Structure formats: C-alpha cells, structure tokens
Chains A and B, each alone.
Chain A
Amino acid sequence: MRITLNVWRQKNTNAAGAMKRYEVPNVSPDMSFLEMLDVLNEDLLEKKDADGPVTFEHDCREGICGSCGFMINGVAHGGHERTTVCQLHMRHFKDGDDVVLEPWRANAFPVLRDLMVDRAAFDRIIASGGYVSVSTGSAPDGNAIAIRKLDSDLAMDNAQCIGCGACVAACPNASASLFTSAKIAHLGHLPQGQPERLERAKKMVDQMNNELFGSCTNIGECEAVCPKGIRLESIAMMNRDYARASFMERPSTGEVGFG
C-alpha cells in the first residue's frame, strides 16, 4: 500500500521547523510503523535528500524502553490501547492514507531534531525524589518484608511507566502529572518507600512545577494514550501525598522554631 506522510522537520532545537510531505510506496501491512519509517529513511538517504533521514528515537522496538513516541494524526503513539509507536503495525492503516507525524510538544521537552525531543526534565523529576534510600552491604533475605498482594500489584502497575512522555504530549496543558504520579505511587505503595514518602511527593511535585509542566485538569487524555495503562487514580494519590506533605509534615525536633 501507499502511505503519504506529513512529517515535522526541524534541524535542531533553535531552528524553525516545518511540515514536509513524503510518499512511501510499497508499504507492507506486516511492517511496524518504525520499519515503515526505516524504509522512508533508506529512500531519503539514497536520494540524498537535503534534509536527510527523519530522526526519531527508538531502541528496544518491543514497547518496554520508552524511547519511541511521537504524535500520529494528533494522537500520542497512534491511539491503539497500550501500544507504543514501535508496537503499532501498518495493518491498521489503509492504502492512500495521509498521516501527520509531529514530535511531543511541551516547553519542558525541547525538540532536538525532527521527531526527537529531549526528555531530561523527566530525569530531573526522578532525581529529585524518585528513589528509596537503602543500606548497602549484604543482600537482605528475600521476602523479609511482607507486602500485601494488592499493594505489590498496585506498585507494579505503576512501575510499568516507561517515561515515554505520551502523557505530557496528549495533555492539553502539557502536564506531567501522570508520569510523576506513577513514580510516586510505585514507591508509595511499597513498605520500602514509606520513610521518604511525603518528602518524595513534595520534592518531585516541586521539581515538576519548576520544569514548567502545566497543571492537571483531570480530563483523562493521558490515561487514554498511556502505553502502560497508568491511571488517574495515581494522580489522586499524588495530590493526597502532596497535600499531606505540605501541611502534615512537622519540623524535626532539632529545627529552629519548633514548639
């Protein structure tokens, strides 16, 4: 089949970008979306196209690394439930389809080139509090800490977040609430995450605000496009933990002004 692509081309972060049209003939329905782009890029290289091949991020190509992701016809990852771009196949498209490809758009995600954005803002949110402090040394006994099945399930559900950025991209406010809340809920459901739970919520949410992500309006677009099925329930948990961290945390006994 024949696919027409409208692709956002941008040389670097500071350059102005524009949409360019490309024809991809002989697309097999068995190809993945990225393989179709590989074919286009081969062709662009062969033709010595002035803009060069289309840059897009990819790594595992099996939906677990979080590298790939861009807007396909205005929907993050193309709109198939729990599917990243690399897991999307051309059988979902028809011969003669016109497809628009755009990078994630957010102030916190500057475009590096074409469809590739810099998601270092996510790394900085994780670094601000998305960890648990552990004593190193000999490994603890397995199952030494009992964890309720439901809590471990909820933690694992949230741990699935691959940080692809689709939630930010799909949100009309460019909010990173789903991403940040997945990390907070992942660790917050586990006993190991309790000592730093409120501190974590405070630090990560503050970092999220500092990165100039927008606010959450609870509309649920993020949840719909999340390839890992993270739910709005996690955002509610983040809101709870943040409110508690803001008002319930007491100063440590050594702090000036206590009592």
Chain B
Amino acid sequence: MAAVATNSTLHRTLEFWQASIGKKTVMAVTGGILVGFTLVHMAGNLQIYLGADVLNHYGQLLKSNVAVLWGARLFLLASVCLHLTAAFQLWSLKAKARPVAYQKLAPTKSSYASRTMYVSGPILLFFIIYHLSHLTTGQTHPQFDEGDVYRNVVLGFRQPVAFAAYLIAMGCLGFHLIHGVWSAFQSLGINHPKYTPKIRNLATGLTALIVGGNLSIPVAVMLRLIGNDVQ
C-alpha cells in the first residue's frame, strides 16, 4: 500500500478492505446483488408453468444480446468472487482469533442458520458450479439439448440424484438467506428498534419466496405436474 498516495480514494478503499468491518460491508453489498439476482432468476424460471414455448423464448431473449449477457455474467462473477474472498479471509481470521478451542461451548440464542454460514456458503458454491454445468453448459446433464430449456429442465429434474442435489442446495440457500439478508443490513449499520423486526420479517419472507419458488419446479416435475409432454 506504500505506493498508493495517502488519502487518495484508492488508499482509503484499500484500508477499508483491510478492516474486518470493510470486508463485511463488501459481503453485505455483494450479497445483496446476489440475492437480487436469485430473486429475478427465480421469477424467470417460474415461467416454466406457462409452457415450453414461453420458457424457451425467455431463454432465447436472455441470450439475444451478447454484450448484456456477458456484462451481467461478469458482474455476477465479480460479486461472487468478492463475497468469497472476503468470507474466506474472515474465516481464516476466526482460527487465528481463537487458537485454542473450548472443550465445551454451548450456543444460547443464536440461530442454527447464523452459526453455519461457513457451511451453507461453500455448499452453495459447489451447487452453483454444478448448476451451471447442469443446465447452462450441460456437461453434467445426460440428455442436454442446447436451446431447449424446457426439455433440459424437465429431464434434468427427473434424475433422482440431480433432484436430491437441488433439494439440498435449496435448503442451504434458505439457511444462508434467512441469516444473510438480515445480517447484510446490520453490517451496513442499519439496526433500529423500529425497523429491525421488519427487516427480520423481510429476510424470512424473501427466503420463503425464493426457496419455495425454486423448489416448486423440481417438485412439480417429479410429481408430473409439468413436463408430461417431454419423453
């Protein structure tokens, strides 16, 4: 950092990143971006209930403008990278801050979800990689057909292993969001007796909406409520 002029914006940003509060701010902002994406992604996916034509047309629309598509992808990738880097660095600090573990440590009021962010997070990372290779690029999809989104989704979710993977991943996403959404506000310094209960409700509502909406698709496929026309 010595090469950077003191008091320049860059210097301040670097110094802010050095502090754990700075990293938490970055995690809150990037987390917010990713929650926003997950919400829009789910809304888009729900079009599967409107039939193959609507969903496939939506898929084509997303890929129609290469600049927008890759712009969005790179923006999301950058968010994931920042979120991950900050999380990893804070996680390594945790071990340094308590080198000798307790023989007995009993949690009191913290939620299971809040204590397992470092578990649900990495699982979600592996899920994202799997999900991309399953329904975007198709390497882990046995009957992948580029362009036929509807068919890929239906046939993909009929595989019991894939179905189970999505079920577990959505469980982890639920745990990650129910603490993460509230936590992001706290990290950004937003905590007020008037609004915090509402923010907690927002976290619960968003989690239920995103997890419920996403889970409904593989469940509907498995129950043959959608995709009966696909062989």
Instruction: Name A's B-contacting residues (CB within 8 A).
Output: 8, 19, 71, 73-75, 79, 100, 102, 105-108, 170, 172-175, 205-206, 209, 212-221, 223-225, 232-233, 235-243, 246-247, 251, 255, 257
Which residues of B line the A interface, CB within 8 A? 5-8, 12, 15-16, 18-25, 90, 93-94, 96-111, 114-115, 117, 179, 182-183, 186-193, 196
- A-B residue pairs in contact (CB < 8 Å), sample of 5: A73-B104, A102-B104, A175-B20, A209-B19, A239-B186
CB distance from B32 to the nearest CB of A (A): 15
Q: In angstroms, how far is the closest chain B Cβ from the Cβ of A54?
A: 16
In contact, B182 and A218 (Cβ under 8 angstroms): yes
Known: A219-B115, A257-B7. A107 touches B104 (CB 8 A): no
Cross-chain contact of B12 among A75, A172, A235, A247 (Cβ < 8 A): A247
| Alpha-carbon distance A212/B191, docked complex (angstroms) | 26
| A8 CA / B100 CA spacing, docked (Å) | 12
Q: Choose from A218, A224, A246 the contact partner of B186 (Cβ within 8 Å).
A: A218
Q: Is the CB of A214 within 8 A of B101?
A: no
- Closest residue of A by beta carbon distance from B193: A233
Q: Is the CB of A105 within 8 A of B183?
A: no
CB of A215 within 8 A of CB of B106, answer: no
B192 cross-chain contacts in A, Cβ below 8 A: 233
Which residue on A lies nearest to B192, using beta carbons? A233
Q: Which of B7, B115, B182 is A172 in contact with, Cβ under 8 Å?
A: B115
Main SS class of interface, A: mixed
Known: A215-B20, A219-B110, A238-B21. A71 touches B183 (CB 8 A): no
Q: B178 → chain A, closest Cβ, in Å?
A: 12
User: Cα distance A139–B189 when bound, in Å?
Assistant: 36
Of B21, B94, B188, B193, most buried by chain A (CB within 10 Å of CB) is: B21
Q: Given A74-B106, A215-B21, A238-B21, 18 other A-B contacts at CB below 8 A?
A: A79-B106, A173-B90, A174-B97, A205-B19, A209-B19, A212-B93, A212-B96, A215-B93, A215-B94, A216-B24, A217-B90, A218-B182, A225-B108, A239-B186, A239-B188, A242-B19, A246-B12, A257-B8
Q: Which residues of B contact A205 (CB under 8 A)?
A: 19, 21
Contact B94 A232, beta carbon cutoff 8 Å:
no
**In the assembled complex, how far is the CB of residue B30 from the closest CB belonging to chain A, in whole angstroms?**
15
Chain A hits for B5, CB < 8 A: 257
A239 with B106: CB separation less than 8 A? no
Contacts of A235 in B (CB 8 A): 186, 191
- What's the minimum C-beta distance from B89 to chain A, rounded to whole angstroms? 9
A213 surroundings in chain B (CB, below 8 A): 97
Of chain B, the residue at the smallest CB distance from A233 is B191
CB distance from B159 to the nearest CB of A (A): 36
Residue in A102, A215, A241, A247 whose beta carbon sits within 8 Å of that of B24 in the complex = A215
A221 to B105, CA, bound (A): 11
Q: Which of A102, A107, A206, A218 has the most CB of B within 10 A?
A: A218
Q: Are B108 and A79 in contact, with the CB atoms below 8 A?
A: yes
Determine which of B25, B97, B117 lies in contact with A214 in the assembled complex, contact meaning CB atoms within 8 Å. B97
Residues on A with beta carbons closer than 8 Å to the beta carbon of B6:
257
Contact indicator B105/A71 (Cβ below 8 Å)? yes
- B90 cross-chain contacts in A, Cβ below 8 A: 173, 214-215, 217
Closest to B23 in A: A215
Check B114–A217 contact: CB distance below 8 A. Answer: yes
A102-B104, A214-B94, A246-B22 known; A239 vs B189 contact (CB < 8 Å): yes
State which of B102, B117, B189 has its C-beta within 8 Å of the C-beta of A217.
B117
A173, B93: Cβ atoms under 8 Å? yes
Check if B117 sits within 8 Å of A105, measured CB to CB. Answer: no
Is the pair A255, B7 in contact by a Cβ cutoff of 8 Å?
yes
A107 touches B183 (CB 8 A): no
Please name all residues of chain B whose beta carbon is closer than 8 Å to the beta carbon of A220 when the two chains form the complex.
Answer: 109-110, 114
Residues in B whose Cβ lies below 8 Å from that of A170: 108
Does B190 contact A236, Cβ atoms closer than 8 Å? yes
Closest-by-CB residue of A relative to B90 is A215
Are B94's CB and A173's CB within 8 A? yes
User: Known contacts A107-B99, A172-B94, A219-B110; is A247 also within 8 Å of B16 by CB?
Assistant: yes
Shortest Cβ distance from residue A221 to the other chain B in the assembled complex, whole angstroms: 5
**Distance to closest chain B CB from A125 (angstroms):** 14
Chain B residue with minimal CB distance to A255? Answer: B7
Q: Which residue of B lies closest to A240 (CB)?
A: B189
How far, in whole Å, are A5 and B180 apart by their CA atoms in the complex? 39
* The residue from A206, A232, A240, A251 contacting B19, defined by CB atoms under 8 A apart: A206
